[in-house]
Amino acid sequence: MEGTIANFRGGRHTKHNSQMIVVVKGVDKKEKAAELIGKQVLWASPAKKEIKGKITAVHGNNGAVRVKFDTGMPGQAISQKVKIN
């Protein structure tokens, strides 16, 4: 399964560097996204370094999910593809 990183998770005054919002291809309902909680996510950087993460929650009503990665994510990760296992 494949997804796209949409943005960092954050609010008006905060930004969580290790948490990202991911839009999953083919998932457009909150109920479908809830089935993905607990799955592993893998992002490969341009330098061939892999950062692993885990889907922790649903974000909104249109199928986006929150992913917590092991380390902080660089800004260049936004709009790049991730693999969901």
pLDDT, one tens digit per residue, over 28-79 is 999 999 999 999 999 999 999 999 999 999 999 999 999 999 999 999 999 9
The CATH code of the domain that includes 67 is 2.40.10.190
Give, in order, the Cα–Cα distances in Å from 29 to each of 14, 15, 17.
27, 26, 26
The β-bridge partners of 47 are: none
In whole angstroms, give the CA distance from residue 28 to residue 80. 19
Q: How many structural domains comprise the chain?
A: 1
Contact 52, 71 (CB under 8 A): no
pTM (2 decimals)?
A: 0.92
What are 10's two structure tokens?
């954050």
At 66 the pLDDT is 98
Write out the residue range of the structural domain in which residue 13 sits.
Answer: 2-84
